Amino acid sequence: MTQKFWLREETKPNEFRRALSASSCQKLLAAGHQVVVEDWKDSIIDLEEYKKVGCEIKPAGSWVEAAADWIIVGLKALPKDIPAFKHRHIFFAHVYKEQDGWQDWLSKFAQGGGRILDLEYMLDTNKRRVCAFGYWAGYVGAALGAFFTYADKEGHKNLKEHKYFKDKTELLNFVRQVVNEKHGQAMIIGAKGRSGHGAYACLKELKWNITAWDKEETSVGGPFVEILKHDLFVNCVLATQKMPPFLNHDILKNKDFTLKMISDVSCDPDSQMNMVPLYDAATTLEEPLYQVKDVESPLFITAIDNLPSLLPKESSCDFSDQLEKYLIDYNENEGPLKVSLDYFNKAMSKIS
């Protein structure tokens, strides 16, 4: 069955990625689907690439006027000023863990009759996400962690000069300007996952010494004093159920620790499943650092929730390659799309 896909603009600051590349759109068109692409000025993928493959072009933000049978495809948050949503939306909604404002967002879908097909909950039979930016999130998160481990307190001013990096080589060269020949000690938890693999690859290229932990090492439950013996801790575990955190304020009290920097790639500060409950709000490209309070030695956290946007071209193409097949053979009645829709219906049953 053919579908109508509308690739919308992103409205989140410092976002340049697109959920679908021109190559994926071409495959959708070849499969008989309709594809509209919005003319978004910050897109890392040039509009001409979409035009060349035959996509219809519409103004940015015009999806709100589209007929209800269009499937709206994006990545990050929808505009807050829209009172109701009538479409099916494919994006990262961040509402199913009862994050701040989750009921308000779902109420807008109840009011408009729309549905969410949350990319985070498109899961296979092993309950593993089929589409993820994880590798590049881990890669960028580790790079920024290494950078801020050795940058002075004004180091973030250098970062603000970069809306994004054109490729990973440019990012690594940026980090090396500060790190130089320093090869710090880093611990990665979640090292066997997508983001863990990305973090490990980055720190390996920077020639850091790495302690890689995953489920086996953390099965006893945190917090873990071993983390404190490293210069950098990279958290790559996005918890799906509440469990003891990896670090907390108690373990940091009166400790003569080595740890200088935490890069929380998972970045889940407003959830009860935050594995690094030392902060309560994500950091940003403009203000990338949070200093942990009430500790003897200076300790900072970076927790930017759209890390792959700093490598937008590589991460967009990688993600689109993962997503395209589920749109080409679109079926809400089976597979990952059904799983995601089931999560939506379950969440909707919780709102009054």
Write the CATH number of the domain with boundaries 4-121+312-348: 3.40.50.720
Cβ atoms within 10 Å of 256's Cβ, excluding its own: 7
Question: What is the three-class DSSP state of 302?
Answer: strand
Residue 76 is a catalytic residue: yes
Residue 139 CA to residue 126 CA, distance in Å, equals: 24
Sketch the domain layout of the chain as residue ranges.
4-121+312-348, 134-310
Name 341's Cβ contacts closer than 8 Å, sequence gap at least 6: 115, 117, 332
Q: Is the model's pLDDT at 153 over the cut of 80?
A: no
Residue 94 is a catalytic residue: yes
Question: What is the three-class DSSP state of 249?
Answer: helix
pLDDT tens digits, residue range 86-141?
Answer: 999 999 999 988 888 899 999 999 999 999 999 999 999 999 999 999 999 999 99
| 3-state DSSP of 148-206 | HHHCCCCHHHHHHCCCCCCCHHHHHHHHHHHHCCCCCEEEEECCCCHHHHHHHHHHHHC
Same fold, 4-121+312-348 and 134-310: yes
Compute the C-alpha angle 37/39/42, nearest 5°: 115
Q: Tell me, what's the pLDDT at 117?
A: 98
Q: Which helix (H) or strand (E) holds 72?
A: strand 71-73
Question: In which band, very low, low, confident or very high, does the pLDDT at 297 lie, cut at 50, 70 and 90?
Answer: confident
27, 87, 94, 168: the active-site residue:
94
Residue 88 CA to residue 107 CA, distance in Å, equals: 14
Q: Is the model's pLDDT at 156 over the cut of 80?
A: no
Cis check: omega of the bond before 223, within 30 degrees of 0: yes
Cross-strand partners of 262: 233, 301
Residue 269 CA to residue 292 CA, distance in Å, equals: 13
The closest of 278, 272, 274 to 294, measured between CA atoms, is 278
33, 58, 76, 168: the active-site residue:
76
Instruction: State the CATH architecture for 134-310.
Output: 3-Layer(aba) Sandwich (3.40)
- Backbone torsions φ then ψ of 335, nearest 5 degrees: 70, -160
pTM of full prediction above 0.75: yes
Q: Which helix (H) or strand (E) holds 71?
A: strand 71-73
pLDDT tens digits, residue range 244-274?
Answer: 999 999 999 867 899 999 999 999 898 888 9
